[in-house]
Amino acid sequence: MYLVDYHLHSKYSFDGAHELRDICETAIERGLSEIAITDHMDIYSDKPYEYILDCKSLYKELEEMKEAYRGRLKVLSGVEYGQPQANRKEALRFLAEYPLDFIIGSIHNLWDDKDAYDYNYNETDYHVVYDGYVEWLYTLAAEYDYDVLGHVTYPSRYVYMQTGIEVDVRQYQEQYVEIFKKVIERGKGIELNMSGIARGLKDTMPDMYLLKLYRELGGEIITVGSDAHLLEHVGIVTKQGYEMLKEAGFRYFTVYDRREAQFLPLE
């Protein structure tokens, strides 16, 4: 079985911990054939893109890892590209300066560069944040560059962690239909983010309901990633992700070669 993990964070992410070489070794130990390192490039409204990520060091070392593991593990130079609409000039400057193999487009920060993680959902109505989130996600889907949209129900994780409330995404079905239609129209995709399962939380991002909705709308491009920030999570939920894709009606999962989507059969 060809196992991949297309959402991994290293020490270069502000919330990461581990060396690239250790991630690669762990991936090989767990039987993975291919990984994408997707460290955070969160765009801020008032800061240069270099503020969040040491790109020169990261991408230089990633080229070294590609060579060091050639024939044993395919290593992609990726990025998790956060809310580029916050500062279009800096977002475009980053993409112009660093050719990449794979881009996850994500929304973390909303108004005033505040992460959805940072709201107190015991005091703030989560609907207010969620309304803003799906609006920002649509703008990213429609107007910016990416290969797949990442963790498309991101606020749900923190609402559940803080309050125990499971957000019913069906109340946002109309917005997600428009997001998915735009993704499909542009020849892009989404990811099945397995971090909730890897970390012992309630569900994946998206959950099965939205996963099936995306497929029913004609979505075909989909990657599987653990969103691991620790070695203990690297590659541990890939097989479960494949099973979820099959249950949702997918016959293939997606990998990338220089940002070109390729489809591999789900066994």
Neighbours of 189 (CB within 10 A): 21
| Contact assessment for residue 23 and residue 8, using Cβ atoms and an 8 Å cutoff | yes
Q: For residues 119 and 155, what is the distance between their CA atoms, to the nearest angstrom? A: 10
User: Which residue(s) pair with 254 in the sheet?
Assistant: 263
pLDDT on residue 200: 64
Crossing angle of the two packed helices 154-163 and 126-143, in degrees rounded to 10: 160
- Cα–Cα distances in Å, from 211 out to 106, 183, 206, 218? 17, 14, 6, 11
Taking only the tens of pLDDT, the chain with its 267 residues reads 999 999 999 999 999 999 999 999 999 999 999 999 999 999 999 999 999 999 999 999 999 999 999 999 999 999 999 999 999 999 999 999 999 999 999 999 999 999 999 999 999 999 999 999 999 999 999 999 999 999 999 999 999 999 999 999 999 999 999 999 999 999 999 999 999 886 766 789 999 999 999 999 999 999 999 999 999 999 999 999 999 999 999 999 999 999 999 999 997
Distance in Å from the first CA to the final CA of the chain: 7
SS (H, E, C) 120-154: CCCCCCHHHHHHHHHHHHHHHHHHCCCCEECCCCH
Domains along the sequence of the chain with CATH: 3-265 (3.20.20.140)
Q: For residues 62 and 75, what is the distance between their CA atoms, to the nearest angstrom? A: 8
pLDDT on residue 14: 92
CB-facing half-sphere around the CA of 172: CA atoms within 13 A: 27
